[in-house]
Amino acid sequence: MRVGRAIAAGILVLMVTGAVIAFGLGPLDAPVRAPEPQVQPETQPDTPSSTEPKHPQPPAATERADERARMVEQQIARQRRGRQPIKDQAVLRAMGVVPRHVFVPKARRRQAYDDSPLPIGYGQTISQPYIVAMMSELLELKEDAKVLEIGTGSGYQAAVLAHLTPNVYTLEIIDPLFERAAGVLRKQDYGAVRTRRGDGYFGWVEHAPFDAIIVTCAAGHLPPPLWEQLKPGGRIVIPIGGPYEVQRLIVVTKQLDGSRRSLTVMSVRFVPMTREE
């Protein structure tokens, strides 16, 4: 997810996680031929898949637990400054467990549980906790769902998703962020998350179809490859709009007959999705 600073229109300040770089504009259903990208091999899960989901147990979860509890209670589960409270109990539990402070640069760790985004380097940010929780809730993941994240960034969003389902796939386009996030995920018992360095516009066709896709950067249109890789009945959470203008955070659901149903959640402002040259 290539992300920079993002400011929500109106009463809510939003920032997004991750770091997929922008992509150009085009018609919604324009046919696109995928290039032959040079990508690094994906990471493999540390443990084989099982019918019983593995619940991550990050070692750093024992640290700063009181701060996370306050974060969840005050920033996420409570109606505040016009925000609708997050009600999904699985999401709330995940937000209370994932050690956000290990996903931010050391110089910023004192602010890790503040109600704000934080820079993670390379012009990117980690989203404020409420936005991570809200987008996770909008995915409506079941325990065995397969979810694709476009833009790994710090790895924090992927870690939250890993508490909701064992089938998390995440793409990052910036090499240093990819390496750092993959390392932190492994150290914090999120080794089952599959990570790959690559252009998120084209998704991850080898592991398609997905039950849900989360995009954390603004696109001028819904990328057709992502739509093709979504299962019928699945949903994509994505900001849609032109670069450097107010966009719409929308949930696009693929109906069983293949048609689309879109729901606008709020007005937001994200940095644009970009492609590799």
What pLDDT was estimated at residue 221? 92
What pLDDT was estimated at residue 122? 86
Residues 15, 117 contacting (CB under 8 angstroms): yes
**CA distances from residue 177 to 16, 59, 210 in whole angstroms, order as listed:** 15, 21, 24
What pLDDT was estimated at residue 245? 84
What pLDDT was estimated at residue 53? 59
**CA distances from residue 13 to 131, 225, 236, 241 in whole angstroms, order as listed:** 9, 30, 22, 17
In degrees rounded to 5, what are phi and psi of residue 128?
-65, 150
Active site residue 259: no
- The DSSP-derived string for 45-68 is PSS---SSPPPP--GGGGSSHHHH
Q: 248-264 burial, b for 16+ CB within 10 Å, e for fewer?
A: bbbbbbbeeeeeeeeee
pTM of the model: 0.81
Tokens at residue 220, please? 């001028």
Write out residues in the chain with pLDDT < 70, as ranges: 1-53, 274, 277
Closest CA to 82 of 172, 8, 168: 8
**CA distances from residue 256 to 29, 185, 222 in whole angstroms, order as listed:** 19, 35, 19
235: which strand partners? 212, 253
Strands of the chain (E only): list them: 118-121, 124-126, 146-150, 167-172, 194-197, 210-215, 230-240, 247-254, 260-268
118-121/210-215 β-pairing: unpaired
Residues 200, 47 contacting (CB under 8 angstroms): no
254: three-class secondary structure by DSSP? strand
Residues 242, 25 contacting (CB under 8 angstroms): yes
What pLDDT was estimated at residue 45? 58
Task: Give domain limits for the chain.
Answer: 59-268
What pLDDT was estimated at residue 266? 85
**What's 73's DSSP letter?**
I
Q: 17: number of CA atoms within 13 Å, CB side?
A: 31
What pLDDT was estimated at residue 157? 95
Catalytic residue among 49, 116, 127, 262: 127
Closest CA to 147 of 85, 204, 102, 217: 204
Q: Superfamily assignment of 59-268 in CATH?
A: Vaccinia Virus protein VP39 (3.40.50.150)
Q: Mind listing the pLDDT tens digit for each residue in 151-179?
A: 999 999 999 999 999 999 999 999 999 99
